[in-house]
């Protein structure tokens, strides 16, 4: 399956993408993670990307499209992929159309995570990530680790992303509204989009996502009472 996950910062794209990818046995490809890997390794590309990331702006398309192209060329994508954080503007969506052209359907589904902006700011302000495995995510109020500053899963040190400061989050939201939201229209025109709420527990959102891509069952246990 080839799936795109789109949503504003703080909607839980990374968390959901990691779980969905395991469920579907396809690689989870996050352009944000690819950039952070480069930055961590101190490559020139990483340093260049970081100047944009820390101010909440998009990394230029010529860098981003190149990084994604290289990743999609690896053999593990033959079974499909789950893209998290790409495309983030129309030019990237058109580049992806080109990269996925062929006899297969280009994409199977585009999931859009929806969340009120006030919730985004509060979620991100308290978000802490594990330095050892960035897929372990905590929140200082809503899901604090047992020992402050330490990952419950692997003992790694928790840190705050430097683009998670409030002013940067507001800039990232503006960029989402002006550049990424039009991408949804691009895929709506192809009949691929399902919008789901990103509110609720991680498992609830995952269940909605699985239903949206035809891999889960609707929970109608409270159909008459809720």
88 catalytic, yes or no? yes
Out of 36, 127, 128, 208, the active site residue is: 127
Classify 148 in phi/psi space as left (phi over 0), alpha (psi -120 to 50) or beta: beta
- Tell me the closest approach of the beta carbon of residue 225 to ligand AMP, in angstroms: 38
Dig out the tokens for 2 from the structure: 């080839």
Stretch that binds ligand AMP, among 58-66, 147-155, 182-190, 195-203 (CB under 6 A): 58-66
Residues β-bridged to residue 139: 127, 143
Nearest of 172, 177, 166, 176 to residue 122 by alpha carbon: 166
Q: In whole angstroms, what is the distance from residue 108 CA to residue 4 CA?
A: 9
Q: Does 7 bind ligand AMP (CB under 6 A)?
A: no
Sequence-separated (6 or more) residues with CB below 8 Å from residue 206:
16, 19, 20, 23
1, 2, 31, 183: which one contacts ligand AMP (CB under 6 A)?
A: 31
Nearest CB to ligand AMP, comparing residues 97 and 216: 97
128, 172, 186, 208: which one contacts ligand AMP (CB under 6 A)?
A: 172
54 catalytic, yes or no? no
Residues near ligand AMP (CB under 6 A) are: 9, 30-32, 35, 52-53, 56-59, 64, 85-86, 88, 92, 163, 172
């Amino acid at each position: 399956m080839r799936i795109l996950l789109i949503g504003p910062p703080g909607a839980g794209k990374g968390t959901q993408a990691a779980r969905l990818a395991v469920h579907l046995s396809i690689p989870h490809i996050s352009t944000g993670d690819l950039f952070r890997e480069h930055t961590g390794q101190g490559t020139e590309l990483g340093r260049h990307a970081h100047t944009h990331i820390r101010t909440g702006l998009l990394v230029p398309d010529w860098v981003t499209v190149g990084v994604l192209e290289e990743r999609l060329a690896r053999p593990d994508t033959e079974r499909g992929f789950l893209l998290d954080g790409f495309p983030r503007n129309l030019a990237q969506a058109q580049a992806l159309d080109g990269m996925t052209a062929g006899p297969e359907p280009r994409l199977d589904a585009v999931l859009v995570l929806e969340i009120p902006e006030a919730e985004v700011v509060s979620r991100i302000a308290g978000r802490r990530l594990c330095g050892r495995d960035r897929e372990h995510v905590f929140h200082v109020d809503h899901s604090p680790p047992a020992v402050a500053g330490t990952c419950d899963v692997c003992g790694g040190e928790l840190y705050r992303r430097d683009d998670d400061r409030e002013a940067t989050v507001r800039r990232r939201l503006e960029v989402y509204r002006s550049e990424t939201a039009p991408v949804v229209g691009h895929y709506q025109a192809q009949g691929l989009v399902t919008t789901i709420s990103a509110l609720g527990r991680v498992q609830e959102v995952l269940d909605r996502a699985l239903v949206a891509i035809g891999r889960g069952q609707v929970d109608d246990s409270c159909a008459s009472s809720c």
